[in-house]
Structure 1
Amino acid sequence: MKRIIVCIYGETGIGKTHTALSLKDSLCVDMTMNNEAMIAAMNVYGDKFEERYRVVREYDELMKCVRECEENNLLCCLETADAFRDLLAREYLRREGLKGKKKEKIYPITEWGKVYEIAREIFFNSDCSFTVTGGLKDQYTYDEELGRERVTGKKIPDGLKILPEIADVVAVLVLRNGKQVYKIVKSRFEHPSKLGEVESLKEYIERFKKMIKW
């Protein structure tokens, strides 16, 4: 396995960037810029911050980070799921020559399927596969007779679920009694029944590495 994808969720300012940088041999890939979080991390990590933190907004920038992780056996820590979805959507529109089309109009499952294929293209390897079926949501349509939206019975891809699907480990950072706690909601090689809360994501990732003999 060339690299491990770790997805960290949590409210703004809760400490996602610090968590990502605290992991051994990690590269923090962020898709939005929070100045306060950046300044706080710079104060802690100094020169190492610039070496291990990247803000990406386009496909080529993300690919550069992924290659860097693969070449140097780094953890790839991704933040901001909705921005990741938008990045993929922009790349799809660029490839199709549809720059004038807004990403909000990428609704048909046939089109979102192509967006998903870009995610597969980026992150696929023999150990880290990507499936569309894990990222679907109900499709709604406006019913004039009911005067409200109703479920059509069909499923469409949910852009916000793309990131957890491709990740090897998904952790949600929460505060409990003023203390950081990590809910492990996905671990690629562990059954969901064995997942739970941990106080140290760093220790969990080290156990994960041993589990997969990384």
Structure 2
Amino acid sequence: MAPNRSDRGRIADEKLGLLRRLLAGEEVEHCGRRMKVTPRPRTPEGPMLNWGGSSHGAARSAGRNGLGLLAKGGVPGMQWAYEKACRNNGFEPGFVLIPDRDVVANLFVAEDVDAAWDEIGKYLLHDAMSYSEWNPDNQVSANMSTARTVDELRRASASHVILSVEEARWRLAGGEIFNLSPLCGGIPPEIAWRYLKRFADRG
């Protein structure tokens, strides 16, 4: 039976504890399975971890667990709630990113924008529709779109964007921060790698 939505916080806290132990090199037994992460992370305690979400509850969870806050959107007082929860639990506040609703949440750079939409548009649409179905009343998160076709997503959505190399350079020069999601919507790694490499080489 699928867990109730109200159990998400408890389950996330439980899984976070397991993840931290695994990333620190422990061999963990959970639900009858033995697990170990290899190769070990470069840092002894594991990589930097961030908590997501777009609510005071998410901000408090990040602070309570001593994590950064990589939000999907923001509500008034969210950063204050995060910093207070950090300090109440003996942590100094860490990395915080609380995006505006209209920020581009999934950005790709292409030599040929039309060809890129033909290649990865179906994956971007799958991502957009999934988030919309999971969050039907969400008016806060930056990743939300009501698009139902690739053409509609391309024409009307600010959440999933493909830029030409030239426009990407222009926007970067203006100080815009790009959110890259190479595996968005299940894009195969061999395809995703080309877009990521293009951004690094040409952006």
Whichever structure has more strand as a proportion of its residues is 1
Fold similarity call, TM over 0.5: no
State the TM-score, normalized to the length of structure 1.
0.27
Higher relative contact order at CA 8 Å, sep ≥6: structure 1 or structure 2? 1
